[in-house]
Amino acid sequence: MGEPRWLGEREAAVWQAYLAVQRELHSALERQLVRDSGLSNADYSLLVPLSEAADGVVRSRELGVLVGWERSRLSHQIGRMEKRGLVVREECAEDARGSMVRLTPAGRAAIEAAAPGHVEAVRRYVFDGLSAEEVDVLDRVFHRVLGRIADDA
Amino acid sequence: MGEPRWLGEREAAVWQAYLAVQRELHSALERQLVRDSGLSNADYSLLVPLSEAADGVVRSRELGVLVGWERSRLSHQIGRMEKRGLVVREECAEDARGSMVRLTPAGRAAIEAAAPGHVEAVRRYVFDGLSAEEVDVLDRVFHRVLGRIADDA
């Protein structure tokens, strides 16, 4: 690899700011969710794809891909949500190894009650502070980063 | 609160792209770290502030604030790193309730060996693809979001 190419001072500062945004935004959104609806970010992340799926059912492996979690983390989280009545686990008819996760009526009611406050918090912390041009730059940059990661895989 | 203000189509797409970047960048950087140095992102996040601290010692509570983790997650992670000889826990002389975390020579060697490859991956996935103007916009936007979160707390 030759000499390591360190980040310049400006790039290092922007990288630290990105890491801080990731950490602080995650915490702030979770505080709002817990306070106003008793859900965690992890609950919310799983309830969204379930509420958007046909019949509220998603294969557990697919849920893991959607949220980017390892199997053990996903399984613990689903277990906690099952105890609270938000989801149930079911066997998969076509594939004996694959289990399915189904949103319960209580889970659907929870995500529907939580969504407006969560969206309002995303607007307040992020989008209400951005110009249309800044949103365009973010869109371009985010997709470019995703493309570079995909090219490298 | 009145009617919920939903995100516009464009804002919703940019928000999804942000969540995808967060997830994919985290995974890609962790794959590189694990493959090239046997460290996880969690290991790396704790080793950085320890390696920058005077004498390589940081109060455990302060480490938790720096990485934004709850106490139980921090304590499990430090336990795993202690078993691998990367850090040791010590009692705090001034405060009986506070424990300190100390970087071992093996921990210092691990972070020094891992850093160049990690930085190279951050450049490759992110900064090599950005213009100076885009870096400026990101810097401005990230600090604005951090300010809005701080004002709201």
Task: State how far residue B47 is from chain A, nearest Cα, in angstroms.
Answer: 15
Domain contains B18? yes
> pLDDT tens-digit profile of A28-82?
999 999 999 999 999 999 999 999 998 999 999 999 988 888 888 899 999 999 9
In a domain? residue A130:
no
In a domain, A82, yes or no: yes
CATH code of the domain in which B98 resides: 1.10.10.10
Predicted model pTM = 0.88
d(CA A107, CA A85): 7
Mapped onto helix, strand or coil, the DSSP state of residue B84 is: coil
Residue A78 lies in a domain: yes
Show residues of chain B in contact with A35, CB under 8 Å.
Answer: none
Distance from CA of A93 to the nearest CA of B (A): 30
Is residue B24 predicted with pLDDT exceeding 90? yes
Sign of CA dihedral A48, B65, B75, B32: positive
- Residue B2 burial by CB count (10 A; 0-12/13-18/19+): exposed, middle or buried? exposed
Total structural domains within chain A: 1
What residues make up the domain containing B75? 9-123
Q: What is the pLDDT of residues A83-96, one digit of tens each?
A: 999 999 998 766 66
Nearest CB among B6, B127, B146 relative to A7 is that of: B127
CB contact under 8 A, A14 and B138: yes
Tell me the chain B residues in contact with residue A68 when contact means C-beta distances shorter than 8 Å. 23-24, 26-27
Has residue B131 been placed in a domain?
A: no
For residue B66, is it within any domain?
Answer: yes
Asked, for residue B106, whether it belongs to a domain, the answer is yes
Cβ neighbours of B11 in A, within 8 Å: 123, 127, 135
Any domain includes A21: yes
